[in-house]
């Protein structure tokens, strides 16, 4: 029996949405700090207006739909899916008012791309954009993808721990929740903030080393640390990381992205002294082995085709792009168009594959995730073994992810459902993009980038691209960030509720 959302259910969802927006209204004031610091006082109204509007909506929702009822899983899934949309919509106001984007749709695209940690950009002239607006764009990635602001706000403002537990599941971060969710949330925030501070410090030093003036190096360091750890990929410059023309800066950014792509629980295990976990964890093994394999393939192709001859070029262009794709970061060190013009199609497909595979579960990265890939590979190997064993033989396998777990059919089914839905969306997105007249290889690349929240582009994502394609990619980014099922639950619940009204 399928559930239908009643008026009472919507009350619970909208009430909690209101509470969440209360916290966000204050978060939207944070860019005031760089606005004052860099004397960009003309940008102040954008943030006051956004914050005020958010506060009014939050107050309206939490006052009008006030309820004492507790959240259930269905409410949490719908809440998370709605929260992502509404937050992106509200966050687009400063970008629109500040003329960072040429239309309101572009501003919505930009903020959704930021909040989902994608990094595909429609910003018109990033080099002449106010620093406060850059701070807003980069902070969105850190909050949306780096710390999961929806969970944080529910943990801070929610009345019960259960609401946060359920929101964790909606945000596709259900694993490894510790007995106290508030503690876990603090832990996630603490880890993210520590890596952010370390990253900002190292990137600032790297920026100064590469020859930037300390002021620019510090601001860029903060921005790139927000987006590097969040595997987001936004940059304050139209050249992205190519602005720095230096390997040291690229290496620091790459390390930060790899850290962001690893499981929060792994960070916790390492911080609490369980160093063996990194060698035993199935997910880590799959992540590093697929990265190594695809890096080798990329390097061989680039070298074999004579595209880059030196080791430095192969590393800074080939390996960097591949790691940026696999961690779903989206920083780039070659102009997007050169992926199509200089690199062969086979490499575009390898990059698309690495984007689809993605980083680790419960991390800031997107994609199908290494844990699911590992589970599916193990299950595939088992099925291959089966015909060669006696019929009476009972075969099974285990995988290690924080603890040893049996490879049950439920686990395999769960991984297969998510992987299949990703692939279905990938093919649909590719078909739609190709229908707009782009090549199939380019369409696959751009779709994989939007769906896995990567942000690399081969030139399709541009303010001049058709509005239909912008909406398609927005849908893909939203569904990709919430691992498809959360959004499907909301859409099905909406359809069933509407169906009942029609009856």
Partner 1 sequence: MMKRILLCLLLPLLFLPAVGAIPVEELVKNPQEWDGKSLTVRGEVVGRLEKKEGVWLNLLDNGWPLGVWCAKELAREVRVIGDYKHVGDTVEVTGIFHAKCREHGGEPDFHAENLKVVSEGYAIRRPMNLLLLTLSLFLFLAGLSTALFLRLRRREPFWGYSPESF
Taking CA atoms, 194 is separated from 151, 186, 455, in Å, by 19, 12, 24
Residues 96 and 104: beta-carbon distance below 8 Å: yes
With CB under 8 A as the contact rule, which of the stretches 123-131, 172-180, 276-284, 476-484 interacts with partner 1? Answer: 123-131
From candidates 33, 70, 160, 211, binder to partner 1 by CB under 8 A? 211
Contact between 48 and partner 1 per CB under 8 A: yes
Contact between 69 and partner 1 per CB under 8 A: no
Least distance (Å) between residue 211 CB and partner 1: 4
Contact between 44 and partner 1 per CB under 8 A: yes
**Whole-angstrom distance, CA of residue 152 vs CA of residue 165:** 11
Residues 125 and 239: beta-carbon distance below 8 Å: no
Structure tokens at 225: 């640390």
Please say which residue, 47 or 196, places its beta carbon nearer to partner 1. Answer: 47
From candidates 3, 33, 36, 42, binder to partner 1 by CB under 8 A? 42
DSSP, collapsed to helix, strand or coil, labels residue 437 as coil
Residues 414 to 473 in contact with partner 1, rule: CB under 8 A: none
Nearest to residue 119, comparing CAs of 140, 99, 133, 102?
Answer: 140
Query: What residues contact residue 250 under an 8 Å CB cut-off, 6+ apart?
Result: 241, 244, 316, 320, 331, 333
Contact between 400 and partner 1 per CB under 8 A: no
From candidates 4, 10, 30, 55, binder to partner 1 by CB under 8 A? 55
Least distance (Å) between residue 49 CB and partner 1: 4
**Whole-angstrom distance, CA of residue 102 vs CA of residue 332:** 23
**Whole-angstrom distance, CA of residue 461 vs CA of residue 473:** 9
Least distance (Å) between residue 55 CB and partner 1: 3
Contact between 331 and partner 1 per CB under 8 A: no
How many residues lie near partner 1 (CB under 8 A)? 60
Structure tokens at 290: 């697929």
Contact between 214 and partner 1 per CB under 8 A: no
Angle of the 440-451 helix axis to the 345-357 helix axis, nearest 10: 20
Site string for partner 1, 339-358 (x = CB under 8 A): --xx----------------
Contact between 127 and partner 1 per CB under 8 A: yes
φ, ψ of residue 194 to 5 degrees: the values are -60, -45
From candidates 67, 102, 239, 421, binder to partner 1 by CB under 8 A? 239
Least distance (Å) between residue 243 CB and partner 1: 6
Least distance (Å) between residue 46 CB and partner 1: 8
Residues 327 and 355: beta-carbon distance below 8 Å: no
**Whole-angstrom distance, CA of residue 467 vs CA of residue 460:** 12
Strand partners, 400: 404
Least distance (Å) between residue 494 CB and partner 1: 28
With CB under 8 A as the contact rule, which of the stretches 122-130, 353-361, 368-376, 409-417 interacts with partner 1? Answer: 122-130
Contact between 138 and partner 1 per CB under 8 A: no
Burial of 59 (0-12, 13-18, 19+ CB in 10 A): middle
Q: Greatest CA span in the chain, whole angstroms?
A: 77
Contact between 107 and partner 1 per CB under 8 A: no
Task: Name the strand (E) or helix (H) holding 70.
Answer: none
From candidates 5, 14, 17, 46, binder to partner 1 by CB under 8 A? 46
Chain residues binding partner 1 by CB under 8 A are 22, 25, 38, 40-42, 44-49, 51-56, 58-59, 63, 97, 124-125, 127-131, 210-213, 216, 237-239, 242-247, 307-310, 312-317, 333-335, 337-338, 341-342
């Amino acid at each position: 029996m399928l559930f239908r959302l009643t008026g009472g259910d919507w009350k619970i969802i909208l009430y909690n949405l209101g509470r969440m927006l209360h916290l966000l209204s204050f978060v939207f004031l944070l860019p005031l700090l760089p606005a004052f610091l860099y004397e960009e006082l003309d940008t102040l109204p954008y943030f006051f207006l956004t914050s005020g509007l958010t506060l009014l909506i939050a107050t309206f929702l939490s006052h009008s739909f006030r309820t004492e009822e507790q959240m259930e899983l269905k409410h949490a899934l719908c809440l998370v899916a709605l929260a992502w949309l509404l937050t992106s919509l509200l966050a687009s106001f400063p970008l629109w008012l500040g003329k960072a984007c040429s239309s309101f749709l572009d501003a919505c695209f930009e903020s959704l791309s930021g909040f989902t940690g994608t990094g595909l950009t429609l910003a018109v002239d990033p080099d002449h954009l106010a620093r406060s607006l850059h701070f807003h764009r980069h902070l969105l990635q850190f909050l949306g993808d780096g710390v999961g602001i929806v969970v944080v706000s529910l943990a801070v403002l929610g009345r019960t721990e259960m609401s946060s537990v359920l929101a964790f599941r909606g945000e596709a971060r259900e694993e490894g929740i510790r007995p106290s969710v508030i503690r876990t949330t603090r832990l996630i925030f603490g880890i993210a903030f520590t890596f952010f501070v370390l990253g900002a410090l190292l990137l600032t030093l790297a920026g100064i080393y590469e020859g930037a003036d300390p002021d620019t190096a510090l601001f860029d360091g903060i921005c790139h640390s927000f987006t590097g750890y969040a595997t987001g990929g936004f940059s304050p410059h139209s050249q992205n990381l190519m602005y720095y023309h230096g390997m040291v800066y690229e290496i620091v950014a790459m390390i930060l992205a790899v850290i962001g792509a690893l499981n929060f629980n792994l960070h916790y295990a390492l911080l609490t002294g369980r160093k063996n976990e990194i060698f035993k964890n199935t997910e880590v093994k799959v992540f590093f082995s697929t990265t190594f394999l695809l890096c080798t393939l990329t390097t061989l192709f680039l070298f074999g085709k004579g595209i880059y001859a030196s080791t430095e070029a192969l590393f800074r262009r080939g390996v960097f792009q591949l790691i940026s794709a696999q961690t779903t970061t989206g920083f780039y060190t070659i102009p997007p168009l050169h992926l199509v013009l200089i690199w062969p199609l086979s490499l575009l497909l390898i990059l698309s594959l690495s984007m689809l595979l993605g980083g680790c579960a419960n991390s800031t990265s997107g994609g199908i995730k290494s844990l699911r890939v590992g589970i599916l590979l193990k299950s595939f190997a088992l099925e291959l073994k089966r015909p060669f064993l006696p019929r009476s033989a009972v075969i099974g396998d285990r995988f290690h992810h924080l603890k040893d777990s049996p490879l049950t059919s439920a686990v395999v089914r769960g991984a297969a459902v998510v992987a299949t839905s990703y692939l279905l969306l990938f093919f649909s997105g590719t078909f739609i993009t190709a229908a707009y007249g782009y090549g199939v290889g380019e369409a696959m690349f751009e779709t994989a980038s939007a769906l896995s929240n990567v942000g690399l582009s081969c030139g399709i994502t541009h303010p001049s691209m058709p509005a239909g394609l912008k909406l398609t990619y927005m849908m893909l980014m939203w569904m990709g960030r919430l691992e498809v099922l959360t959004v499907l639950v909301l859409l099905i619940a909406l359809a069933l509720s509407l169906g009942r009204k029609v009856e």
